[in-house]
């Protein structure tokens, strides 16, 4: 079975003044037409997956050419094992303002060039890819909370159908919490504890609720008028609604995780560390072309073997002796983190050239469906409550849905789902007295899942079901609800009788044009947008240092100063040394 390839895209309407004017119309054709064109990449760009994606999506390429969009190119050695999704491509296509050197990606991330340093700022992304909307977003985007930095390492261009597309080489892919390579973003020592735990995710929900309550005026007055709160049946709006016992258990689990990593890093465990490292190194070849269930069994067998080996070691014993359940659970999470790319269906498909994996196929189907419905409002799903503050409130569950790809263990993914659904549930409590419809939960849940625009939603479900062993009935109930909601999205038009709704028909037809990156001649102004030429960019960036010289100096003088952005240069330098 061949993998389903989807054409994903957005509208191509006017671009605002924040980008400095208008572009010359180049190579236009009627919307929906697919014109053929030749691509002449430079030698360094040959077989780069982002360029190959553009070549295969001619409508998107026309859109890029018309609006003089710049392509950011991460190093091939780093990006080659990452499945190229729509989100990844859109994150590396930017509108650049020559006046401020601020830029916005096609999925609404904003950043800034300061000479060769690239900074990405924290802020709300958008699923609306109209250039004028992105321009407005860029003008109002907060720049006081940087979340990611990398460096430019060169500027170049390639030719498509006689038109030049400028590329800026960057030293590391642009990452944010919702992108599937965030597991690769922060390098750590072999035995460092994970940066994300179930307890931390739950506390993030609590903090989000606390901040939200500050932003909703008169919320305390509303609580006084709520009969459930007055009776004591419900404490207050927007609380995590989790028992102290469960919270304490999660906190204790986090402490056990820290204790596990501390013991693992002990010098007394050097033999165990070597054994684990050997398993991690050999796992890719042993697991190749095996099903997820078989890969899980390999890990379980190794955990059992290691547990037998260390159970009599005093280092791994507490007051009650050796706790097999705690040890095996922590070791499993540890191995999942280290082996994630060989357990995650999309990356397995990429690394092993498998085109038949069901999760990847259903990812395409689910994502295409959700993308088609991004234009719909909650009212189309039966919601008839107030819309004031609704988008601000639902930004919380959308945020947790988008964290799904960034966490690596099934239990952490389940916690993200629980927090997202809990936020929707709390929203329903808040608006329940103002709704004519007595059951707003399903409409709002469907709406938030669609707005989260997850490109690998089914892979997450399969990964949790195949690789997880988490048995908490509360969290699993929320996971089951999430899975049923994802399946329900396929039946949306029939379920809500939308086929005969005229407004629905109009919006869906517009959406089809957006998805095909259709460009209509009557919507495109015919005058220039002042932008950088390739020479302008090279002058702005200045001279780029020779990576080989810098790597040689770092390795032989102070290797501790090697940073994440140096990874690609380090790989290239090792290749040079090998040739020498």
Q: What is the pLDDT of residues 15-24, one digit of tens each?
A: 223 333 222 2
Does the pLDDT value for residue 14 go beyond 90? no
Q: Any residues with CB less than 8 A from the CB of 187 and at least 6 apart, and which?
A: 564, 567
- Looking at residue 5, its pLDDT comes to 32
- Mean pLDDT of the 120-127 span: 70
**Regarding the domain delimited by 383-495, which CATH topology (the fold level of the hierarchy) does it fall under?**
Glutathione S-transferase Yfyf (Class Pi); Chain A, domain 2 (1.20.1050)
What are the sequence ranges of the domains in the chain?
251-339, 383-495, 545-579
Question: pLDDT-derived band of residue 528, with 50, 70 and 90 as boundaries?
Answer: very low
- Could you say which DSSP state residue 185 is in? T
What's the CA gap between 172 and 194, in Å, rounded? 21
- Looking at residue 471, its pLDDT comes to 78
Would you state the structure tokens that stand for residue 240, as one six-digit string? 């995590």
DSSP 448-465: HHHHHT-TTHHHHHHHHH
Q: Any residues with CB less than 8 A from the CB of 333 and at least 6 apart, and which?
A: 194, 257, 409, 411
CA distances from 350 to 85, 134, 357, 562 (A): 11, 31, 10, 28
The alpha carbon dihedral of 340, 174, 93, 575 has a sign of negative
What's the CA gap between 40 and 535, in Å, rounded? 19
Question: pLDDT-derived band of residue 195, with 50, 70 and 90 as boundaries?
Answer: confident
- Mean pLDDT of the 351-378 span: 78
What average pLDDT does the chain have? Answer: 78
- Looking at residue 61, its pLDDT comes to 87
Minimal CA–CA distance to 93: which of 78, 111, 115?
111
pLDDT digits (tens, 9 = 90+) for 374-423: 878 888 777 777 777 788 899 899 999 988 988 889 999 999 999 999 99
More confident residue, 279 or 193: 279
Q: Any residues with CB less than 8 A from the CB of 169 and at least 6 apart, and which?
A: 44, 72, 73, 75, 152, 153, 154, 155, 156
Query: Contact 104/95 with Cβ under 8 angstroms?
Result: yes
More confident residue, 537 or 183: 537
Q: Any residues with CB less than 8 A from the CB of 379 and at least 6 apart, and which?
A: none
Neighbours of 215 (CB within 10 A): 10
* Range from 128-132, 251-255, 507-511 carrying the lowest mean pLDDT: 128-132
Residue 181: Cβ-neighbour burial (10 angstroms; 0-12, 13-18, 19+): buried
Q: What is the 3-state secondary structure (H, E, C) of 404-440?
A: HHHCCCHHHHHHHHHHHHHHHHHHHHHHHHHCCCCCC
- Mean pLDDT of the 125-133 span: 67
Pairing of strands 70-73, 163-170: parallel
Neighbours of 545 (CB within 10 A): 12
pLDDT digits (tens, 9 = 90+) for 544-572: 666 556 656 656 666 665 666 566 666 66
Query: Contact 140/115 with Cβ under 8 angstroms?
Result: no
Minimal CA–CA distance to 93: which of 125, 120, 128, 54?
54
DSSP 307-368: HHHHTT-GGGEETTEE-HHHHHHHHHHHHHHHTGGGTSHHHHHHHTT-S--HHHHHHHHHHH
- Reduced to 3 states (helix: H, G, I; strand: E, B; else coil), residue 170 is strand
Does the pLDDT value for residue 458 go beyond 80? yes
More confident residue, 452 or 496: 452
Does the pLDDT value for residue 169 go beyond 80? yes
Q: What φ, ψ does residue 346 adopt, rounded to 5°?
A: -65, -40
Does the pLDDT value for residue 13 go beyond 50? no
Query: Contact 63/69 with Cβ under 8 angstroms?
Result: yes
Q: How many residues does the chain have?
A: 580
Minimal CA–CA distance to 102: which of 114, 89, 90?
114
pLDDT digits (tens, 9 = 90+) for 39-63: 555 555 668 889 988 888 888 888 8
Contacts by residues 35-39 (CB-CB < 8 Å, ≥ 24 positions apart): 35/62, 35/161, 36/161, 37/61, 37/160, 37/161, 38/159, 38/160, 38/161, 39/158, 39/159, 39/160, 39/161
* Range from 32-36, 152-156, 203-207, 316-320 carrying the lowest mean pLDDT: 32-36
CA distances from 547 to 66, 237, 301, 567 (A): 34, 55, 44, 11
pLDDT digits (tens, 9 = 90+) for 462-485: 999 999 887 788 999 999 999 999
- Looking at residue 507, its pLDDT comes to 76
Minimal CA–CA distance to 313: which of 296, 298, 327, 332?
327
- Looking at residue 406, its pLDDT comes to 81
CA angle at 498 for the pair 480 and 391, rounded to the nearest 5°: 60
What's the CA gap between 444 and 377, in Å, rounded? 10
What is the reported pTM? 0.76
- Looking at residue 484, its pLDDT comes to 94
- Mean pLDDT of the 171-183 span: 64
What's the CA gap between 263 and 82, in Å, rounded? 32
């Amino acid at each position: 079975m061949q993998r389903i390839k989807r054409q994903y895209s957005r509208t191509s309407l006017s671009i605002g003044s924040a980008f400095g004017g208008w572009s010359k119309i180049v190579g236009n054709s009627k919307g929906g037409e697919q014109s053929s064109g030749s691509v002449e990449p430079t030698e360094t760009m040959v077989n780069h997956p982002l360029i190959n994606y553009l070549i295969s999506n001619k409508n998107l390429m026309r859109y890029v050419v018309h609006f003089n969009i710049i392509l950011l190119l991460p190093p091939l050695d780093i990006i080659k094992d990452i499945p190229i999704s729509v989100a990844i491509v859109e994150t590396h296509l930017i509108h650049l303002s020559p006046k401020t050197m601020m830029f916005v990606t096609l999925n609404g991330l904003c950043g800034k060039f300061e000479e060769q340093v690239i900074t990405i700022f924290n802020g709300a992304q958008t699923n609306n890819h109209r250039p004028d909307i992105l321009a407005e977003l860029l003008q109002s985007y907060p720049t006081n909370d940087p979340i990611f930095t990398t460096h430019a390492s060169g500027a170049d261009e390639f030719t498509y159908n006689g038109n030049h597309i400028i590329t800026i080489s960057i030293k590391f892919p642009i990452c944010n919490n919702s992108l599937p390579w965030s597991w690769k973003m922060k390098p750590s020592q072999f035995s460092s504890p994970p940066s994300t735990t179930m307890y931390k995710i739950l506390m993030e929900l609590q903090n989000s609720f606390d901040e939200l309550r500050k932003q909703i005026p008169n919320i305390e007055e509303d609580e006084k008028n709520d009969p459930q709160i007055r009776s004591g049946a419900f404490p207050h709006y927007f609380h995590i609604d989790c028992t102290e016992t469960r919270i304490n258990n999660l906190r204790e689990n986090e402490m056990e995780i820290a204790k596990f990593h501390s013991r693992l890093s002990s010098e007394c465990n050097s033999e165990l560390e070597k054994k684990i490292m050997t398993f991690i190194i050999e796992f890719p070849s042993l697991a190749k072309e095996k099903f997820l269930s078989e890969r899980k069994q390999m890990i379980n067998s190794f955990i059992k073997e290691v547990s037998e080996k260390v159970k009599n070691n005093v280092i791994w014993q507490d007051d009650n002796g050796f706790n097999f359940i705690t040890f095996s659970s922590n070791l499993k999470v540890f191995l999942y983190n280290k082996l994630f790319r060989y357990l995650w269906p999309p990356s397995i498909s990429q690394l092993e050239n498998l085109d038949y994996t069901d999760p990847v196929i259903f990812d395409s189907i689910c994502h295409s469906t959700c993308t088609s419905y991004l234009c719909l409002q909650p009212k189309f799903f039966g919601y008839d409550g107030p819309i004031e503050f609704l988008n601000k409130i639902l930004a919380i569950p959308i945020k947790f849905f988008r964290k799904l790809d960034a966490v690596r263990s099934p239990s952490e993914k389940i916690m993200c789902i629980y927090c997202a659904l809990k936020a929707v549930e709390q929203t329903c409590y808040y608006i329940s007295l103002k709704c004519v419809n007595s059951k707003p939960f399903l409409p709002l849940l469907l709406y938030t899942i669609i707005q989260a625009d997850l490109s690998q939603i089914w892979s997450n479900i399969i990964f949790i079901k195949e690789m997880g062993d988490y048995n908490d009935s509360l969290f699993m109930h929320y996971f089951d609800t999430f899975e049923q909601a994802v399946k329900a999205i396929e039946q949306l038009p029939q379920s809500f009788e939308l086929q005969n709704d005229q407004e629905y028909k109009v919006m869906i037809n517009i959406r089809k044009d957006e998805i095909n990156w259709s460009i209509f001649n009557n919507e495109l102004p015919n005058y220039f947008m002042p932008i950088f030429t390739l020479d302008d960019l090279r002058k702005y960036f200045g001279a780029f240092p020779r990576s080989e010289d810098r790597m040689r100096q770092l390795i032989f003088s102070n290797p501790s100063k090697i940073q994440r952005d140096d990874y690609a240069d380090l790989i290239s330098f090792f290749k040079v040394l090998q040739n020498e």
